[in-house]
Homo-oligomer: A and B are copies of this chain.
Amino acid sequence: MKHRPIKASILTQNLSHNLSRVKKMTNSLPTWAVVKANAYGHGLKPALTAFHDSEGVALLDMEHASLARELGWLGRILLLEGVFTENDLDDVVNFSCEIVIHHEHQVTWLIQWLGRQNSQIVTKFLADCPIWLKLNSGMNRLGFKSAQYGVSYEILKQMGCTVHHLTHFANADDPQVLPSVEDQWEIFSKATQYVEGLKSGANSAAIIGHPSTHGDMTRPGIMLYGASPSGKYDDIAHLKLKAGMNLRSEIIAFQELQAGDTVGYGSQYQAQKNTRIAVIACGYADGYPRSAPNGTPVWIGKLGNILDGQIAPLVGRVSMDMMMVDVSNIPYAQIGSPVELWGELNPIDNVAFPAKTVGYELMCGLANRVKQEIL
């Protein structure tokens, strides 16, 4: 049965290449490859294959931790938000996870839970499940302030836990905004200076731009998937990262416009002269951003060879299932011509930026109705 022609290809080798770039930039420091949000929309399975050389993977949901073990992942697993209920700790032990503790109620849960376990489980938890205590160094999202941090650390150590340390940067991709990476790293370093344990702070932006914060273990996310932490492709063009996903579709119709004709909902584009419009089988219900304005780049390939193609501008408002492109300068465009919405030929950042968002949101928003193939 034939589907609408839109398809996402997951490029396992490119994901793997991007991890090797991270390792190169960080003197082979251990990594938590961040695979939350279904590996930023790429799928946990291909991501685990691609990130085989990462010491650990970091994610959110116990269900995905369980799936990772099922898929044969023997490396470390970090639950980035820790547990959501006390009983989740049963599975933390079952799946040998490491957990973030970011709030007092999680300390309470752990104390209560350990109190209910037999010595075998307690021993296993203390041996297999290090805790990553999270400092709020200025982002004001998750984590303890410095004063409470020390208290929680002492409690956890007295319980016999292995405790490591992490924090998260609010502005690693933008040096103009405070608190700066340096401010936050200083607060983190101070709060953790007299305690044992590994230290982790660097997300992709800090891996790229702030080597002094690489610490003992980095946490690359967006760069593994070939997109820019800042949202600007130019900021990563020199890094030789490769796209993790090709989102491609086809031309399904044409319209011939005359000067003055408008296109699509809200008539947001008006032709200035005779214009040939191609209709593409891709809309916001596939995950393409409705906010993409006139001029957003779309790659139009030749029938049978997408590599032989060029960029054409989006025109009119993206609708639920379709979008329109001005192909007046692309005489080879025909019904069935292949189109790349984003990917190796058309960087996702170049679509996200004019749409006033970031590659992260587009990747994660890839719709379930888009068929995926793993390459």
Contact = CB atoms under 8 A, between A and B. Distances in A.
A344 interface: no
Contacts of A253: 102-103, 141-142
A273 interface: no
A139 B264 contact: yes
12 contacts: A2-B62, A5-B84, A37-B285, A61-B369, A139-B263, A140-B277, A170-B262, A171-B267, A178-B262, A284-B364, A284-B365, A285-B365
Contacts of A141: 253, 255, 263-264, 279, 316, 319, 322, 324
A321 interface: yes
Contact of A84 (B2, B142, B179, B267): B2
A255 B136 contact: yes
Contacts of A266: 170-171, 174, 177
Nearest to A174: B266
Contact of A285 (B36, B319, B367): B36
Contacts of A5: 84
A124 interface: no
Interface residues of A, number: 74
Chain B CB within 10 Å, residue with most, of A3, A80, A287, A324? A3
B361 A265 contact: no
A76 B103 CA distance: 54
A267 B179 contact: yes
Report how many copies the assembly holds.
Answer: 2
A161 interface: no
A349 B356 CA distance: 20
Given A3-B61, A255-B141, A281 B170 contact: no
Given A84-B2, A177-B266, A105 B335 contact: yes
B290 A361 contact: yes
Nearest to A269: B140
Interface in A235-292: 252-255, 257, 261-267, 277, 279, 281, 284-285, 287, 290-291
A142 B5 CA distance: 16
Interface stretch (A85-93, A208-216, A302-310): A85-93
Given A254-B103, A291-B291, A267 B177 contact: yes
A60 interface: yes
